Amino acid sequence: MQERNERLFYKLLIDNVEELLPIVYTPTVGEACQKYGSIFRRPQGLYISLKEKGRILEVLKNWPEKNIQVIVVTDGERILGLGDLGCQGMGIPVGKLSLYTALGGVRPSVCLPITIDVGTNNKKLLDDEFYIGLRQNRATGEEYAELLEEFMSAVKQNYGEKILVQFEDFANHNAFELLAKYRTTHLVFNDDIQGTASVVLAGLIAALKVVGGTLADHTFLFLGAGEAGTGIAELIALEISKKTDAPIEETRKKVWLVDSKGLVVSSRKESLQHFKQPWAHEHEPVKELIDAVQAIKPTVLIGTSGVGRTFTKEVVEAMASFNEKPIILALSNPTSQSECTAEEAYTWSKGRAIFCSGSPFDPVEYDGKILVPGQANNAYIFPGFGLGLIMSGTVRVHDDLLLAASEALAAQVTEEYYAKGLIYPPFSNIRKISANIAANVAAKSYELGLASRLPRPKDLVKHAESCMYTPVYRSYR
Ligand SMILES: O=C([O-])CC(=O)C(=O)O
Ligand SMILES: [Mg+2]
Q: Is residue 413 part of a domain?
A: no
In this structure, are 213 and 174 located in the same domain?
no
Interior/surface letters 66-90, b for 16+ CB within 10 angstroms, e for the rest? eebbbbbbbbbbbbbbbbbbbbbbb
Does residue 95 belong to any structural domain of this protein? yes
Q: How many CA atoms, within 13 angstroms, populate the side-chain half-sphere of residue 113?
A: 21
Whether 92 is covered by a domain: the verdict is yes
Distance separating alpha carbons of residues 293 and 286, to the nearest angstrom: 10
> What pLDDT is attached to residue 113?
98
| Residue 166 and residue 287 in one domain | no
Are 282 and 138 within one domain?
Answer: no
Within 6 A (CB) of ligand 1 lie 26, 80, 169, 191-192, 333, 358, 377-378
Residue where a domain terminates, one of 376, 402, 417: 376
Last residue of a domain, one of 353, 376, 399: 376
In terms of Cβ atoms closer than 10 Å to its own Cβ (0-12, 13-18, 19+), residue 22 is middle
State the DSSP string of 155-217. HHHHH-TT-EEEE-S--HHHHHHHHHHHTTTSEEEEIIIIIHHHHHHHHHHHHHHHH-S-GGG
From the list 254, 311, 255, 272, the residue with the least C-alpha distance to 288 is 311
Q: Which residues, 6+ apart, have CB-to-CB distance to 471 below 8 Å? A: 6, 7, 8, 9, 10, 11, 14
Give pLDDT, residue 477.
80
Number of other residues whose CB lies within 10 A of the CB of residue 247: 10
Nearest by Cα to 99 from 380, 330, 332 = 380
Which of 10, 36, 96, 417 is catalytic? The answer is 96
Residue nearest to atom 7 of ligand 1 (CA): 80
- The answer to whether residues 40 and 90 belong to one domain is yes
Q: What is the pLDDT of residue 418?
A: 87
Nearest CA owner, ligand 1 atom 9: 80
**Residue to mutate (ligand 1; options 169, 335, 356; most atoms within 8 A of CB):** 169
Read off the CATH number of the domain in which 350 is found: 3.40.50.720
In a domain, 110, yes or no: yes
Q: Are residues 214 and 156 in the same domain?
A: no
The strands making up 300-303's β-sheet, listed across from edge to edge, are: 262-263, 255-259, 220-223, 300-303, 327-330, 354-357, 374-375
Quote the pTM value: 0.97
Check which CATH number belongs to the domain holding 133 and give it.
3.40.50.10380
Residue 476 lies in a domain: no
Cβ atoms < 10 Å from Cβ of 2: 15
Q: For residues 167 and 178, is the Cβ–Cβ distance under 8 A?
A: yes
Ligand 1 atom with minimal separation from the 378 CA: 4
280 C-alpha to ligand 2 centroid (Å): 26
Same domain assignment for residues 31 and 156: yes
| In a shared domain, residues 220 and 150 | no
- 215 lies in the same domain as 318: yes
Alpha-carbon Rg for the chain in angstroms? 22
**156 and 223 belong to one structural domain:** no
CA distance readout (Å), 222 to 421, 429, 453? 22, 30, 39
Q: Of 455, 412, 450, 454, nearest to 434 (Cα)?
A: 412
Ranges under pLDDT 70 in the chain? none
β-bridge mates for residue 189, sequence order:
166
CA 190 / ligand 2 centre spacing (Å): 9
**pLDDT for position 420:** 82
Say if CB 104 and CB 195 are below 8 A apart.
no
163 in the same domain as 296: no
Structural domain contains residue 465: no
Classify residue 71: in a domain, yes or no.
yes
DSSP string, 12-69: HHHHTHHHHHHHHSTTHHHHHHHTHHHH--S-SSEEEEGGGTT-HHHHHHHSS-----
Identify the domain containing residue 136 by its residue range. 6-185
The verdict on whether 96 is a catalytic residue reads yes
Query: Does one domain contain both 33 and 123?
Result: yes
Tell me if 77 sits within 8 A of 167, measured CB to CB: no
CA angle 247, 274, 184 (to 5 degrees): 75
Residue 421: predicted pLDDT: 81
CA of residue 368 to ligand 1 center, whole Å: 33
Alpha carbon nearest to ligand 1 atom 8, residue? 80
185, 209, 242: which is the final residue of a domain? 185
- Omega prior to 285 cis, within 30 of 0: no
Dist. CA 80 → ligand 2 center (Å): 6
410-459: pLDDT as tens digits: 999 999 898 888 999 999 999 999 999 999 999 999 999 999 999 999 99
Burial per residue of 200-218, b for 16 or more beta-carbon CB atoms within 10 angstroms, e otherwise: bbbbbbbbbebbeeebeeb
Give the integer Cα–Cα distance in Å for 325 and 347.
Answer: 13
The answer to whether the CB of 395 falls within 8 A of the CB of 185 is no
Q: Is the same domain home to 300 and 348?
A: yes
Question: Total structural domains in the chain?
Answer: 2
In DSSP terms, 47 is beta-bridged to 115
pLDDT (0 to 100) of residue 65: 97
**CA 401, 403, 405, 411 torsion-angle sign:** negative
| 49 domain-assigned | yes
